[in-house]
Structure 1
Amino acid sequence: MTKNHSKKPRDRRAALIGAGALLGGLLAVPAVTATAGTNGACSDPDAAIYRPPVSASAAPGEIIACRTVDSLPMVGGGTPFHAWKVQYGSTDGHGRKDAVAGTVIVPREAWQGPGERPLVAFVPGTLGIGPQCAFSKQLAGAYQDAYEGPNIAALLKAGFAVAATDGAGYLDGQVHPYVSGADAGHAVLDVVRAASRLPGSGVSPDAQVGIWGYSEGGSGSLWAAQLAKSYAPEVKVAGVASGGAPGDLRQVGNSLDGGAFAGFLVDAVIGLSVTHPDMPFDGLLNDTGRQAVKDAESLCAVGTVARFTGVHIENYTKDKLTLDQLYALRGPDGTTWGEIADTNRLGVGVGPSGSGARYEMGFPVLQYRGLLDEVIPAQTGQATRRAYCDAGIATQWTSYAGDHLLGDPQAIGDSVDWLTDRFAGKPMPGNC
């Protein structure tokens, strides 16, 4: 969400600018070179992609700025492509106009299948909450903390176009609203709209669309699926693949607190404070907590995990408030933090087309997880699966032998094959 609307103090943003030398974990993959768009219209400077509009006024999916990208070092696989960075209009979780950045990538070779070339909206996993962590920057080689270049390479090899959103809150001076379902879902659906409006992309607005993400991206992909009919009814969603999704924020948060991946909880608490600036937050923090916020906003994924290993949220508040006590705190309108967390629970109010459900979904869903996942509790994944199955959504469930990190690459081949079958119109009975 654009911080023009935020009431957060400026010191919350001070650590955002110029960070990035703290990252590690580069996946070494060969670079693939892209070529410019066919009409050469996208020539905005790189800084324009990440500069927030003075006033967010663009329609959802409208191109605000675009730039052809010469190479994407993180994307391996050898498929020649055209690529663009884009800034496009979107809508935040409160229904206000917003601006978001992302990357659109289209194979150079002509589509050999029937109809229009399919498009996959790719939703990256957890990267960090500061703008230095933006997926489009990492794909283009500015930072090397992300890990999902092989996912995009596999989609391009299959001949699909890819529209990868950064997600809300990655423009200059902003903070990513981590775990906010509506912000994520809107950003995904609007990058689909933007792809077909991008000069020279060749992406058709009539193309079939797949949505794919893991971890935070798994949540974002399902939120896009749930919101598709009401928010972007013209988008022709053929299927959604979602892995390792944090479907119940309370359950996941309780599991993370004090553990090896407590940094994700820190990011989540900050992310919800960004989307709900009227809720009690800054006044609760002690000096250690204020420093933790600055650190979290200046780090990306690897640095966040390392910095916050084993921490307990209660040690960041003046009154040693536990998570359960924080959930019970109320804002000016009487809403509790727990209720806000619950509004982001996946699978609530879903149903098939014509059911009258709040979130009608007329397409199948693939859900998957690693059997040794140490980040998302098993009961969380199973509950999300059961919610979709009980609601009558055609759902396929797959498990892999790895942990949370390995569950993503282990599923690449199966996920691309599953999306390929959906684009081909093959039936999917599911395995509920």
Structure 2
Amino acid sequence: MNNTNPSETDFYDPPILHHGLGPGDLVRTRPVFTPQPVGASGAWQIIYTSTDSRSQLIPASGIVLIPETMAEPGSTAILLYCPSFRGLGGRCAPSQLLATGTEPDVAGIEAALEKGWVVAIPDGRGLGVGAGPHTFLAARANAKLVLDLARAVYRSANLDLDVPVAPVVAWGYADGGRVAAATGELQPWYAPEVDLRGIAAGAVVTDLAALAPAIGRGPGAGLGLAGLIGLSRAYDQLPLRHVLTDEGVLAVAEAQHLTAVELLLQYWQPLQHWCRLEDPWNDTWWRRVLALETLAHVPVEVPLHLYHGERDSLIPVQAGRKTLVAYRQRATAVSWREYDADHRATAQAAISDVLAHLAHDITSRPASSPRSAKAVGESTERTSHH
């Protein structure tokens, strides 16, 4: 592993992944000063390995934050924090936003550090070390990066972590919530050695096919275009160009470099404005991918806490309630809470409840049972043919 301290540009240059590396191996690390969040005694930007939808090894990046005071043994944890959508461009990587003091939402991270937890934040595929654009809405692709980040932290003898292989919990909101939930679905077969204890996920929709048409119009119309771009990046066999007009092709070329705020301001027109079809999602290939990205096909084997705002105008609370029902039908141990708040306010209001749920999961559950290689292989085969 290369532990040198290259320049800002060099550090995020995609490395050559040599033979012998596997998912979750550290490739490059460096300590970094973070003006935010409060409560971190140190931080490390890392580049590690993960896999894509074709199981090919790819580089990924993220950041690991060390609390000022580590929690007592039995209460300590590694929190895999799955951030909400920040944008499609590489400069939207959380590992870079935190280092420059421009990350827009640090309250949850600070609260976790205050509890004495290590906080590990993946940049997401396409951000940071990625060639871009970010694979927005592709929960399963990004869940692999989350689990491989946990593996990387386990193997991080050089990060000054005074913690053994600790219990792991995952938390995310909105698109990050979908990634957190998918992390729970993938963990038993993709990363069975990760001691996952619990998951919290807010404003989660299981069925993208039901949500996609709605996010392509109204005040969040730019997210529809971002979704087309993100999914086409995650599933590179998707024919994106044939659903776009010539103007749409130009829009995509520019949009893939923008932040979420820029997308919403610049692409306020309905998604169909950029497309040849009135409903671009209603295409054979796209319907198939939306089906693949539907959550709750399988149970989550650890406690799952879902929450939603009753006045959420971006992701309607009815979508969250359907998510609750879907996971209960799969016999997942799932809890639920609604807040009398909109999308943004709910994210803040839920922080203390989420941490209480995750803290309970850490201390009340035994370590995950190890699985044999044969069992993992059989589960992988079943999932890949689902």
Superposed pair shares fold, TM > 0.5: yes
Alignment map for 1:328-343 (pairs within 5 Å): 328-330=282-284, 336-343=285-292
Q: Does structure 1 residue 94 correspond to structure 2 residue 38?
A: no
2:347 corresponds to:
408
Residue equivalent to 1:163: 120
> Structure 1 residue 346 and structure 2 residue 346: aligned?
no
CA drift at 1:244: 1.0
1:299 is aligned, of 244, 258, 274, to: 258
In 2, distance between residues paired with 1:160 and 1:98? 28
Tell me the matched-pair count: 362
SS of residue paired to 2:183: helix
Mapped partners of 2:219, 2:242: distance in 1: 27
Per-residue CA shift, 1:122-141, capped at 9, x if unaligned? 00001111101111111111
1:321-358 C-alpha deviation (Å, 9 max, x unpaired): 022xx33434xxxxx211111111111132xxxxxxxx
In structure 2, relative to structure 1, the CA distance for the partners of 1:260 and 1:239 (3 Å cut) is same
Structure 1 segment 109-148 matched on structure 2, within 5 A:
109-111=69-71, 113-115=72-74, 117-141=76-100, 144=102, 146-148=103-105
Report what 2:271 is aligned to. 313
Among the aligned pairs, what percent are the same residue? 28
Mapped contact 1:128–1:296 kept (Cα < 8 A) = no
Gaps of 5+ in 1: 1-39, 331-335, 351-360, 428-432
**Which sections of structure 2, spanning at least 5 residues, go unmatched?**
367-386
Find the counterpart in structure 2 of residue 197 from structure 1: 155
Q: What SS does the aligned partner of 2:60 have?
A: strand
Letter in 1 for 2:27: I
2:329 matches 1:390: yes
In structure 2, the residue matched to 1:104 is 64
Aligned pairs (5 A) from 1:254-333 = 254-309=213-268, 311-317=269-275, 319=276, 321-323=277-279, 326-330=280-284
**Is 1:216 aligned with 2:165?**
no
Letter in 1 for 2:122: T
Which residue number in structure 1 is paired with residue 36 of structure 2?
74
2:159, 2:298 → 1: CA distance? 39
For residue 88 of structure 1, give the secondary structure of its aligned residue in structure 2: strand
Amino acid at match of 2:9: A
Q: What amino acid does structure 2 have at the position aligned with 1:416?
A: L
Given that 2:178 and 2:204 are in contact with CA atoms closer than 8 Å, whether structure 1 keeps it comes out as yes
AA matched with 1:346:
L
TM-score, normalized by length of structure 1?
0.79
Q: Is the 8 A contact 1:256 1:262 kept in 2?
A: yes
Relative to the length of structure 2, the TM-score reads: 0.88
How many angstroms apart in 2 are the aligned matches of 1:140 and 1:229? 33
What per-residue deviation string (whole Å, max 9, x for no partner) do you get for residues 28-60 of structure 1? xxxxxxxxxxxx956343334421124576311
**Which residue number corresponds to residue 373 of structure 2?**
none
Residue of structure 2 in register with 1:43 after alignment: 5
Shift of 1:110: 4.0
Aligned equivalents of 1:189, 1:135: Cα separation in 2: 17
Preserved CA contact (<8 Å) 2:75 2:362: no
Q: What is the RMSD of the two structures over their aligned residues, measured on CA atoms?
A: 2.1
From the two aligned structures, give the one with the greater helix fraction: 2
